[in-house]
Amino acid sequence: MKSIEEVWKRIRSLEGDTFHTKTGKLFTFTVSGDVLRVSRTEYNLSKGNFAKGLENAPFDGPGAVQSIVRGPAYVWAILHDVRVRNDEW
């Protein structure tokens, strides 16, 4: 498994690209420093939030991490996207 630093670089490079939640909802995101903001929400997701998700990856769906991360649908969608995971799991 890659480090959060490597994964965060990939995530940053995909800013503005379209992603899909497990239920098929489309979203994009912007990144400012260590904070990611999803187009479908009003709240921010921290890099640390994705680090927690990465520690549990791969996981079947958002429900598997809903008690440990904020925005589990988005964390799942981003971390499990082939552009981010780079076929590492």
Per-residue pLDDT in tens (0 to 9) along the chain, 89 residues? 579 999 999 999 999 999 999 999 999 999 999 999 999 998 899 999 999 999 998 899 999 999 999 999 999 999 999 999 977 66
The count of structural domains within the chain is: 1
DSSP state of 60: S
Sequence-distant (≥ 6) Cβ neighbours of residue 72 within 8 angstroms = 53, 62, 63, 64, 65, 66
CA distances from 5 to 25, 40, 48 (A): 27, 25, 10
Give residue 1's pLDDT: 58
Give residue 54's pLDDT: 94
Give residue 81's pLDDT: 96
Note down the domain range covering 11: 4-85
pTM of this structure: 0.93
